[in-house]
């Protein structure tokens, strides 16, 4: 079942790039990111309320909060740089290079989380890195 959610994530991420490229024409990218963030904020809280996720808010630890805040900071910076790249570059180049994050996440998961690198995952990461280099060069 996890792969269905992953495919849906990829589908909506692709739409994000297309919609963003159209929406940021002649717009300050920081303002565009701020608007996008408000929409995500409203959508995420609405879903959390409707699905009952807010019922467990009292169980969050300081550790949970620290890393969720750090994740939010990383997301915000990613969006800011992504929108700037989209504004001056082509979606067909920016979006695939942005997906280098997948290969980096694999490396980080090994280094910081102690996950094991499988042959299949290693080949996939290598292909992503090679594809990124091809697009950049």
pLDDT digits (tens, 9 = 90+) for 106-133: 999 999 999 999 999 999 999 999 999 9
Find the mean pLDDT for residues 4-30: 93
Cβ atoms 117, 103 nearer than 8 A: no
**Whether pLDDT at 89 is above 90:** yes
pTM score of the predicted model: 0.85
| Contacts with 83 (C-beta within 8 Å, 6 or more apart), sequence order | 20, 24, 29, 30, 32, 33, 36
What's the confidence (pLDDT) of residue 1?
Answer: 87
DSSP H stretches of helix in the chain: 2-23, 29-50, 62-88, 91-98, 100-113, 119-136
User: Which of these, 73, 98, 72, 132, lies nearest to 20 by C-alpha position?
Assistant: 98
Residues 115 and 96: their CA atoms lie apart, in Å, by 25
Predicted pLDDT of residue 95: 92
Give me the residue label for tokens 């692709």: 14
Q: Which long-range contacts (CB under 8 A, 24 or more apart) does 60-69 make?
A: none
Residue with structure tokens 């995952």?
A: 121
What tens digit of pLDDT does each residue of 28-75 get?
999 999 999 999 999 999 999 999 999 999 999 999 999 999 999 999
Maximal CA-CA distance, the chain: 50
What distance lies between CA 53 and its chain's CA centroid? 21
Q: How much is the average pLDDT of 83-108? A: 94
């Amino acid at each position: 079942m996890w792969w269905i959610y992953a495919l849906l994530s990829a589908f909506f991420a692709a739409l994000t790039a297309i919609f963003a490229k159209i929406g940021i024409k002649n717009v300050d990218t920081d303002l565009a990111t701020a608007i996008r963030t408000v929409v995500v904020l409203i959508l995420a809280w609405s879903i959390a309320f409707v699905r009952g996720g807010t019922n467990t808010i009292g169980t969050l630890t300081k550790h949970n909060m620290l890393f969720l805040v750090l994740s939010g900071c990383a997301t915000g910076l990613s969006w800011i740089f992504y929108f700037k790249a989209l504004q001056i570059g082509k979606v067909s180049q920016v979006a695939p290079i942005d997906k280098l994050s997948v290969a980096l996440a694999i490396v980080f998961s090994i280094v910081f989380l102690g996950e094991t690198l499988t042959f299949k995952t290693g080949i996939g990461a290598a292909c992503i890195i090679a594809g990124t280099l091809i697009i950049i060069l």
